[in-house]
Structure 1
Amino acid sequence: MVADGSAAPPSARRPLRVAIIGAGPAGIFAADALTRQDDVPVSIDLIDRLPTPFGLVRHGIAPDHPKMRAIRETLHRSLDQPLVRFVGNVDIGVDLSLEELREHVDAVIYTYGAALDRRLGIPGEELPGSLAATDVVAWYTGHPDADRERVEAALALARSVVVIGVGNVALDVARVLAREPSELESTDMPQHVLDVLAAAPVEQVTILGRRGPAQAAFTTQELRELDEMTAATVLVDPVDLELDPASEERAAADRVVGRNLGVLRGWAGHVLEAGRTPLRLRFFRRPVRLVGEGRVTGIEVERTAVDGDGRAVGTGELELLPADLVVRSVGYRGTPLPGLPVDESSGTVPHDGVGRVQRDGRSSAGEYVAGWIKRGPSGVVGTNKHDARETVDALLADAADGTLAVRGAVDDLVETLQARGAEPVLLEDWRAIDAAEVALGASRGRARTTMHEREALLAAVRAVVR
């Protein structure tokens, strides 16, 4: 509100203050969309719980994907916009409540993703040697919150690995674990990750899909990369590629599915050579239970068929597979920020379809959502661009019709955080972290080495004299 207590439209003197919670692709694309329009003057605080930006581009895409990870250079240009202020190392709900944040800004866009894994719900899932893909990915990408001890203990005994799921993340995990150590030396993985992977006794990797290849969620590019490893051979049972009429129709109608089947059929004739690691893709199998005394030693699976609705139904045919490590990759779900509703079934924030947050069935003025926490864990990095644009369009429409307005002067968010003893990381601070990682990589003959400990990241900031 302005001095007389009324709301006012945004202006160059008092722009619309927007906080974006989550500095991954969805958040950065939202910030970029806001800066590219001229109708509503804006200033943007791009807030993240970590001291580093880029979200899943940094801590989700496998480090052996240099071309994919290079997208952060594109994202970085959005951070350089003068209307955007990166504010890292700030945990909303801990350093500042959501209610307090909303006193500092006129609108909030939630883009913090879906970080929790979905569970299998089968006996034995709690045994040591059973991990979520989120655990493994966080570990090999150097996420500060990764459970190193648990993951590394599991890998130390992992001769037979089973990955449950047929999405891109499942393929990433399988590929990283099946690679020769030398193939990973040039990546930006933390050194301790490279050391553990080099010592891991992995002899075989199996990827399990509950349904058939026509229902798999991976992209063709990710699938093809399985066949580019120097010491692993991809094996596919031709029987798993025999499709029912509905699946054949799906393959004919969907170009991605058709291309995937072409790749898989090309692998059906592969023969395992001595000294190479087998990486098996097995479809129409669903996990029934994990077996073992004290830790995982196997997984019982049931043969399935796909019914008329595309669901996997059991046939009663059971099989026990050896497994020292089972990694589930069956989806992600979002968690609520304190004070923000999340639908338990979908793991997303309720919204009106284009991004306006819904509370008690009505749109909540000044609250918006984009990315996985809006639509669920689907699509690729680029999908977030259209999604964020849709949400920003809704925000701009609200500003144009007066639903969203400025509320007068408030204290600066960063100054408020610093006064509370928080240590917000700004763009120049991130540049110091970036330089430190490049220097660490250079010392080991690599382009970059990811620093994984939060305190080390903050130490790189403190080491720079301003």
Structure 2
Amino acid sequence: MTKPLRVALIGAGPAGIYAADILSKAGLEVSIDLYERLPAPFGLVRYGVAPDHPRIKQIIVALQKILGRGDIRLIGNVDVGTDVSMEELRRHYDAVIISTGADKDAPLPVPGIDLPGSYGAADFVSWYDGHPDVPRTWPLEAQSVAVLGVGNVALDVARILAKHVEDLMPTEVPANVVEGLRQSPVTDVHVFGRRGPAQVKFTPLELRELGKVPDVDVIVYEEDFEFDEGSEAAIRSTNQTKQVVKTLTDWTLRDPEELTASRRIHLHFLHRPVEILGTDRVEGIRTERTELVGDGTVRGTGTFVDTPVQAVYRAVGYFSSALDGVAFDDVAGVVPNDEGRVLDEDGEIVTGLYATGWIKRGPVGLIGSTKSDAQQTIGHLVADVESGRIAAGAAPAEPDALIAALEERGVPTTSWSGWELLDAYERSLGEAEGRERVKVVPRDEMTRVSRGEES
């Protein structure tokens, strides 16, 4: 009787789940275990999407259908590198796929970035999404705030900061977040981007929704609107850019007397952050005015603008974390790889070790990119099996022995049936308040509910 190919994936976000799904349909006899550091699956879909965007969270429905089939085993609440080493994991599996994503903020090397009152957007997103590994309180003390970056995460941060908490109540926002946001004195949020309106990374829908937030005005400035040849080409080439530019341009035509909301989001283009101002804490931000040079890129003009703010959030991208025992590119923030085959420090292929998702290509692209990424990686894994590079049953130890060892070490693992328990519990909490769900935040409570130790 032939043994199945035993494969472990590290990370149960979209990248790991899609890779597991594709592998399960690849025509191989395969046993798949999906390890997740948190007690619950779904990664940034659960902990990186703003609570007032439930339509995006519908991605979870598709991911649930994959894991609900029963042919992929979820092993949650296991931190590879702490609870189990990569070396140990590889002894129990014929192949390992790293799909850990990007979990922290990309650096922004400007003076003052480490002042108190300067934060990474990823940390703030984790807080308002109820991530179990971040503090339960957040210092919302600023009346004026700067957000650096012009992607959807920057818009999410700006919107959550500016939105009245009552308008978040129909969502799954946790109780501690409601209490924190209720105390916020914010009136103005300034979003800064170094290039022009045609180069922003907002999606049209996200931008239009920003203009519909109750009692929040979106303010743009005519002097920030500049279009060069590269901008015109971008507008002609993609309908998305055309829609974004149209929405922004329409906002410049509004009568200032119509802008009467109690809170405001200011969108500033052609401003490059050069320094966070302050001595003991954030007191302002200095930006340099930039100008387009013809191809959509910009250069500095030597003109500087100081904007008083008491907090700064950098939303300039996510960055991945290194794994013990695996080479890591500290500049690009990825595991070195050749189309998903992981490379060692010398650039040689590590047999049986693969990567997919943002840890493979960097934090760019949406769900469609994640699926094609997984297809490429799994294609190489299958080719390596067919060529004999890796062999089913070659791993000396059995996966079940590792699961037993984790329990013996006091690691309370969670499972797919455990997620179903937690899901039902959160929905029952929401039902009591007339909401779809109230997210459980503490890790120990999540774990107890998932293991049937608390009802």
Tell me if both proteins adopt one fold, taking TM over 0.5 as the criterion: yes
Match of 2:151 in 1: 167
User: Residues of 2 paired with 1:340 and 1:308: CA distance?
Assistant: 42
Q: Which residue of 289, 299, 321 corresponds with 1:335?
A: 321
- Pairing 1:21–2:10 present: yes
Q: Bigger shift: 437-446 or 300-309? A: 300-309
Q: Secondary structure at the match of 1:367?
A: strand
Q: How far does residue 40 in structure 1 lie from its aligned partner after superposition?
A: 0.8
- Pairing 1:234–2:218 present: yes
- Pairing 1:410–2:410 present: no
Q: How far does residue 462 in structure 1 lie from its aligned partner after superposition?
A: 4.2
CA contact (8 A) 1:26 1:384 kept: yes
Q: How far does residue 464 in structure 1 lie from its aligned partner after superposition?
A: 4.2
CA contact (8 A) 1:209 1:286 kept: yes
CA contact (8 A) 1:44 1:83 kept: yes
Match of 1:461 in 2: 450
Moved over 6 A (4+): none
Aligned length: 449
Q: How far does residue 308 in structure 1 lie from its aligned partner after superposition?
A: 4.9
CA contact (8 A) 2:136 2:176 kept: no
- Pairing 1:355–2:344 present: no
CA contact (8 A) 1:334 1:373 kept: yes
Matches within 5 A, 1:282-431: 282-308=268-294, 310-352=296-338, 354-359=339-344, 360-406=346-392, 407=394, 410-411=397-398, 412=400, 413-431=402-420
Counterpart residue type for residue 357 of structure 1: V
Match of 1:254 in 2: 238
Q: Secondary structure at the match of 1:66?
A: coil
User: Residues of 2 paired with 1:138 and 1:236: CA distance?
Assistant: 28
Q: Bigger shift: 428-437 or 185-194? A: 428-437
- TM-score normalized by structure 1? 0.93
Counterpart residue type for residue 363 of structure 2: P
- Pairing 1:212–2:196 present: yes
Which deviations, in whole Å up to 9, do the C-alpha atoms of 1:7-35 show, x marking residues without a partner? xxxx7x41111101000000000011112
Q: Bigger shift: 369-378 or 419-428? A: 419-428
Q: How far does residue 96 in structure 1 lie from its aligned partner after superposition?
A: 0.6
Q: How far does residue 274 in structure 1 lie from its aligned partner after superposition?
A: 2.5
Q: How far does residue 465 in structure 1 lie from its aligned partner after superposition?
A: 8.4
Q: Which residue of 179, 182, 201 corresponds with 1:198?
A: 182
Counterpart residue type for residue 168 of structure 1: N
Q: How far does residue 204 in structure 1 lie from its aligned partner after superposition?
A: 1.0
CA contact (8 A) 1:106 1:366 kept: yes
The 3 A distance-change label for structure 1 pair 385 and 266 is: same
Which deviations, in whole Å up to 9, do the C-alpha atoms of 1:231-282 show, x marking residues without a partner? 1111111232221122212221233222211111111123353233221111
Which deviations, in whole Å up to 9, do the C-alpha atoms of 1:410-451 show, x marking residues without a partner? 231312211222111111112221122112222222111111
Match of 1:187 in 2: 171
Counterpart residue type for residue 293 of structure 1: T
Q: How far does residue 322 in structure 1 lie from its aligned partner after superposition?
A: 1.5
Q: Secondary structure at the match of 1:259?
A: helix
Which deviations, in whole Å up to 9, do the C-alpha atoms of 1:348-370 show, x marking residues without a partner? 11111x21111122221111111
CA contact (8 A) 1:188 1:446 kept: yes
User: Residues of 2 paired with 1:76 and 1:409: CA distance?
Assistant: 32
Q: Which residue of 430, 433, 448 corresponds with 1:441?
A: 430
The 3 A distance-change label for structure 1 pair 298 and 142 is: same
Counterpart residue type for residue 19 of structure 2: A
Match of 1:450 in 2: 439
User: Residues of 1 paired with 2:325 and 2:85: CA distance?
Assistant: 8
CA contact (8 A) 2:119 2:314 kept: yes
Q: Secondary structure at the match of 1:17?
A: strand
User: Residues of 2 paired with 1:141 and 1:300: CA distance?
Assistant: 30
Q: Secondary structure at the match of 1:365?
A: strand
Counterpart residue type for residue 255 of structure 1: N
Q: How far does residue 173 in structure 1 lie from its aligned partner after superposition?
A: 0.6
- Pairing 1:55–2:61 present: no
CA contact (8 A) 2:42 2:60 kept: yes
Counterpart residue type for residue 420 of structure 2: R
- Pairing 1:86–2:74 present: yes
Match of 1:4 in 2: none
Which deviations, in whole Å up to 9, do the C-alpha atoms of 1:146-189 show, x marking residues without a partner? 2334xx22x1x121111100011101111111112221001111
Q: Secondary structure at the match of 1:382?
A: helix
Counterpart residue type for residue 316 of structure 1: G
Q: How far does residue 309 in structure 1 lie from its aligned partner after superposition?
A: 5.7
User: Residues of 1 paired with 2:320 and 2:32: CA distance?
Assistant: 24
Match of 1:5 in 2: none
User: Residues of 2 paired with 1:421 and 1:193: CA distance?
Assistant: 31
CA contact (8 A) 2:227 2:292 kept: no
Match of 2:94 in 1: 106
Q: CA RMSD in A?
A: 1.7
CA contact (8 A) 1:142 1:452 kept: yes
The 3 A distance-change label for structure 1 pair 345 and 408 is: closer
CA contact (8 A) 1:42 1:83 kept: no
Q: Bigger shift: 118-127 or 18-27? A: 118-127
User: Residues of 1 paired with 2:410 and 2:55: CA distance?
Assistant: 39
Identity of aligned residues (%): 44
Q: Which residue of 12, 32, 38 corresponds with 1:44?
A: 32
Counterpart residue type for residue 322 of structure 2: P
User: Residues of 1 paired with 2:433 and 2:454: CA distance?
Assistant: 26
In the alignment, structure 1 segments of 5+ residues that lack a partner are 1-10
Q: Bigger shift: 409-418 or 132-141? A: 409-418
Q: Secondary structure at the match of 2:337?
A: coil
The 3 A distance-change label for structure 1 pair 42 and 463 is: closer
